[in-house]
Amino acid sequence: MSTFTETLPKNATIDLVKFQQSDVETLMDHHDLNEDAKYIIRTESLLPTTLLSRLHNNFPQHSLLKINASPIFSKGKNKYTGLSGFRMICEILEQHGIVLSDIIFLESDRNYITVVTTKQKLSYIDSLKNWRQKLSEHQFIQVHKSFIVNRTYVDKISGNEIYVNTNRIPIGRTFKQELLKQLKII
């Protein structure tokens, strides 16, 4: 069966589409995903064909699976890298009513970042290293290989854990001395 469908008039009949793994590959190429993103999608099975088929068949008007759908990312480069990419992310956060001072902590899980704020959680593909380089060292402290915290929300430190706005976060051995120094505990 055809991989992509064209936009149909409202009164036209719709043939149900059943996607295959090769369709997922075509879709990722069409939307210009980089190899790292494709690898994650494949290994984590983030785009199961049954789910794509159901979503597309139930909501064809919103489907990105049409060949005439605009690519999600601009062709040839990842628009969220570098300083301009960080600014775009800040603009997106502001559109959701979040400013950097609202960020409580950031958590990294492989290539995903979860930004925990006072209002909500946002997750997307990025690295903690990118955020560490761009966030203010005076306001944000890396306390573990997977966590950066906003010092404003630090409640207490107990052993190898830091309490940040009621969240208990581990402190990595290599980060503990620098954390205590920055918080002026030692």
Residue carrying structure tokens 């573990």 = 144
69 and 119 fall within a common domain: no
Among 75, 108, 125, the domain boundary falls at 75
Please give the residue range of the domain that contains residue 9: 1-75
What is the C-alpha R_g of the chain?
Answer: 21
In 3D space, the residue among 142, 139, 143 whose CA is nearest the CA of residue 153 turns out to be: 139
Q: What integer is the mean pLDDT of 34-63? A: 71
129 and 169 fall within a common domain: yes
Among 75, 100, 123, the domain boundary falls at 75
35 and 59 fall within a common domain: yes
Rounded to two decimals, the pTM is 0.53
Measured on CA atoms in the order 30, 33, 39, 43, is the torsion positive or negative? negative
In 3D space, the residue among 152, 147, 142 whose CA is nearest the CA of residue 168 turns out to be: 147
pLDDT digits (tens, 9 = 90+) for 5-46: 444 445 544 456 677 777 778 777 776 677 877 777 777 776
Among 33, 56, 75, the domain boundary falls at 75
pLDDT digits (tens, 9 = 90+) for 139-175: 899 999 999 999 989 999 998 999 998 899 999 999 9
User: How many CB atoms sit inside 10 A of residue 86's CB?
Assistant: 17
62 and 93 fall within a common domain: no
Domain total in the chain? 2
User: How many CB atoms sit inside 10 A of residue 130's CB?
Assistant: 16
